[in-house]
Amino acid sequence: MRELVITFLKNLSDVMIENRDYLINLDSVVGDGDLGLTMSDGFWAAYQAAAASDETDIGKLLYQAGKAMSAAVPSTMGTLMASGWMQCGKALRGKTELTATDYLTLFTAYEEGVQNRGKAEIGDKTFLDSWHPAVEAFANAVLAEKPLATAALAAYEAAKAGFELTTTMLAVHGRAATRGESSKSLKDPGAAVAMLMMQAFVLTQLPRS
């Protein structure tokens, strides 16, 4: 199971690297344009820390990944994402295997870590507006005892829809908030990160050939 978690972190790193320019372009409209670099560097650091560790406790492993990400990208978004991993580490401490319910705990804890650090609310046009509906969709699929791959896909589709819906929201935080009403039609880069994270989770659950 440790290997599957590391695979997830690698897929996260790969997806962020593949979408680095996309995130840079999104962020250049509402921010300072460095999100693609921050996320690709940060998730790479998280993966590298986990891959180099011999830790078998999944909670401790994810906490280590979060600490490495925090050190590598001490920006606002980097700190938020790292805080998510560290909260996951606390929630999953002592686990050496992950069930579907444990993955739900992971996603819920990640949201809690991000929200506690950033103080944003649902509807503020942030990462949470893509992540939260994804977690809800995943929870519903788990409750219905759907296969994990099916639950992952449901989470990704909900994250994608949440990302698109950020074009109906007024920005409350960051540089985008200074645009006032004109921020409403713009897609939120943070929500794009959440969507890409769920894409990486889908890739992790695909059957291996």
First to last CA, the chain: 18
Q: How much of the chain, in percent, has pLDDT values that exceed 90?
A: 87
Mean pLDDT value across the chain: 93
Range 103-127 average pLDDT: 97
In DSSP notation, 20-53 reads HHHHHHHHHHHS-S-HHHHHHHHHHHHHHHHHH-
116-132, pLDDT tens digit by residue?
999 999 999 999 999 99
Torsion of CA 84, 199, 126, 141, to 10 degrees: -80
> How many degrees, rounded to 5, is the angle at CA 24 between CA 23 and CA 30?
90
Q: What is the pLDDT of residue 208?
A: 53
131-147, pLDDT tens digit by residue?
999 999 999 999 999 99
If we measure between CA atoms, which residue out of 35, 36, 34 comes closest to residue 19?
36
152-203, pLDDT tens digit by residue?
999 999 999 999 999 999 787 666 666 556 566 689 999 999 999 999 999 9
Q: What is the pLDDT of residue 46?
A: 98
Range 16-30 average pLDDT: 95
Domain topology for 2-205: 1.25.40
Q: Which residue has the tokens 């979060």?
A: 66
pLDDT of 209 strictly over 60:
no
Domain boundaries, the chain: 2-205
Q: What is the pLDDT of residue 20?
A: 98
Q: What is the pLDDT of residue 179?
A: 59
pLDDT of 41 strictly over 70:
yes
Angle between helices 58-72 and 35-52 (to 10 degrees): 140
Q: What is the pLDDT of residue 170?
A: 79
Range 64-78 average pLDDT: 97
